[in-house]
Structure formats: C-alpha cells, structure tokens
Amino acid sequence: MNNRLDYIDKLRGFAILCVLVGHILIIYTQEKTRYPLVEIIYSFHMPLFFFVSGYVGYKSQSTQKGVYSFLKGKVKSLLIPYITWLFVMPLMLNNEYPSNLSAIIQKFNFVPNLNYWFLPLMFTFHVIYLFWHKYSFFGGVKKELEGLLVLFSTIVLTGLLFKSYYTCVYAIYGLSFFFGYFISKYTIIEKFCCQRRVAIFSIFLLILLWKIFPLDTSINPSPTYSLLNLGSFLVTSLLSIILFLCFF
C-alpha cells in the first residue's frame, strides 16, 4: 500500500528546487546573497524542509515502532550520511583527514551552518520529538502548544544570553519542525491554516516583509537589527509554510 502524501512530496520537491535555485543564483550573480530572489528563498526554504520532516514524522507514526527502532532508523538516514560526508568522502576524494583530537572535535561542530549542519540538527529535533511524543505529560493541543512555547523560548533566550545568533535561527528551524507535527496531528489547525482568507493574508504580509527582509547588518551591525532580522525570519518562515502548504 502506498502511504505517501502527494502534496507533501510536491512541497518537498519545491523546497529542493528552491535550494538549487538559491545556490545557483549566489554563484552566478554579482549581488550573491543580497540578490532579491535569493533573499526571498532564504527566508523560508530551510524552515520549509524542517516543517515537512515534522509533518511526515507524525503522519508516518514512526514512533510507534519503539524507541530503539525509531532511533536506529534516524541513525541510518541522518547520522551515517553525516559521518560519511564528514570523514569518509574527504578521505576518499582528497586524502584529507583530521590529524589530531582537536580537529576531530571541530569536525562535529555544526554551529553556525557548518559541516552538513542540517543532518545533526534534524536528528536532534527527531530525538526531542520522540521523547515529546512518547513520554510527554502534555494533554491536548493547548497544553502541547504551551510546552512548545516554553521549549522555543528557552532555546532563544539561551542564544540571546550567549550572543549566539544561529542558536536562535536553529530554534526557528525547530519551531518549524514542530509546527509540522502540530498541523499533522491536529486537523483543526491544518483546516484553519488552509483557508483561502488565511492564504491571502499570508501573501499580503509576505510581500510587505520581503520588501524589508533582511536588514543589512553590514551597514548597521547593532543588536537591534539582528533581533529584527530574527523576528522577520520567524514570521516569514511560518507564513511561507502556511502559504505553500495551501498551494500544494
């Protein structure tokens, strides 16, 4: 029996296309990351990936297989490719390998956006999701949303406290992942998000945000600009997810 969701496959394919187009434009345009279409794509493409993963994670009911089977599957699909591209492929292709313990430890550093960062980050979100789904004492959508708000706020405050911008960015990716989980689990949320008026409202706000996002911190490197960029990134991520979910 084919349990795949056609619209989710299309949404994933669209996200992959956005990544390809974004990287091509960065290489072949003078503006690089400041190219307008690149700025638009980078305002939502990775949150969209994490959203799809959270959405499919619940729909597949993979946690029902048990903790060991779930973790084994994620190790195979995420951590083995991560280790392979970190160590095996550089050794095979360029005869490159870390020469000391410090170099090995640095290899595993994936903040900010280092060393195939999305693979260990995705694995981390799946582990959090596993224990959230299996052992959480939350009951009902309200309690779960409150728990998610506490988790998200804790990560963001940690990032702000240690002045780690990308910790806050990763928190937004995590929120996108769990947004997929909530929409997948609670059909009432999905029905609300897929209303035509919600899609139209999302388009209107996105056009306004894309006109100003991101603020150029090279001109004004103040913390205020960074916070405004994080806020804009959060809103554009969630609005884009809603819009493209409705579309597909």
Quote the DSSP letter at residue 65: G
Q: Is residue 157 part of a domain?
A: yes
Is residue 133's pLDDT more than 50? yes
Q: At 155, which amino acid appears? A: I
What are 137-176's pLDDT values in tens digits?
556 677 777 778 888 888 888 888 888 888 899 999 999 9
Instruction: Report whether 82 contacts 71 (CB < 8 A).
Output: no
Instruction: Report whether 26 contacts 20 (CB < 8 A).
Output: no
Is residue 105's pLDDT more than 90? no
What are 53-96's pLDDT values in tens digits?
999 988 777 666 777 888 888 999 999 999 998 888 888 877 77
What are 204-216's pLDDT values in tens digits?
999 999 988 887 7
The predicted structure's pLDDT at residue 2: 55
> Strand, coil or helix: what is 86?
helix
Confirm whether pTM is higher than 0.85: yes
Number of domains composing the chain: 1
The predicted structure's pLDDT at residue 62: 65
Please give the helix or strand (H or E) that residue 39 lies within, else none.
helix 36-41
Q: Is residue 44 part of a domain?
A: yes
Q: Is residue 129 part of a domain?
A: yes
Domain boundaries, position 21: 6-247
- In the structure, what pLDDT confidence band is assigned to residue 1 with cuts at 50, 70 and 90? very low
- Token couple for 96: 């490159």
By C-alpha distance, which of 2, 15, 1, 23 is closest to 248?
Answer: 15
Instruction: Report whether 44 contacts 242 (CB < 8 A).
Output: no
The predicted structure's pLDDT at residue 24: 95
The predicted structure's pLDDT at residue 137: 53
Q: Is residue 169 part of a domain?
A: yes
Is residue 124's pLDDT more than 70? yes
Residue recorded with tokens 């409202």:
201
The predicted structure's pLDDT at residue 41: 95
Q: Is residue 1 part of a domain?
A: no
- Token couple for 38: 């690149």
By C-alpha distance, which of 67, 27, 57, 21 is closest to 42?
Answer: 21
What are 29-60's pLDDT values in tens digits?
999 988 999 999 999 999 999 999 999 988 77
* Cα–Cα distance measured from residue 163 to residue 152, given in angstroms and rounded to the nearest whole number: 16
What is the Cα 239 distance to its own chain's centre?
Answer: 14
* Cα–Cα distance measured from residue 210 to residue 232, given in angstroms and rounded to the nearest whole number: 9
When pLDDT is averaged across residues 130-143 and rounded to a whole number, the result is 68
Q: Is residue 114 part of a domain?
A: yes
* Cα–Cα distance measured from residue 160 to residue 142, given in angstroms and rounded to the nearest whole number: 27
Q: Is residue 34 part of a domain?
A: yes
The predicted structure's pLDDT at residue 207: 94
What are 184-232's pLDDT values in tens digits?
888 888 899 999 999 999 999 999 999 888 877 777 677 888 888 999 9
Q: How far apart are the first and last CA of the chain?
A: 23
- Report the alpha-carbon angle 10-15-19, nearest 5: 145
**All residues at 6 or more sequence positions from 86 whose CB lies less than 8 Å from its CB, including other chains:** 107, 108, 115, 116
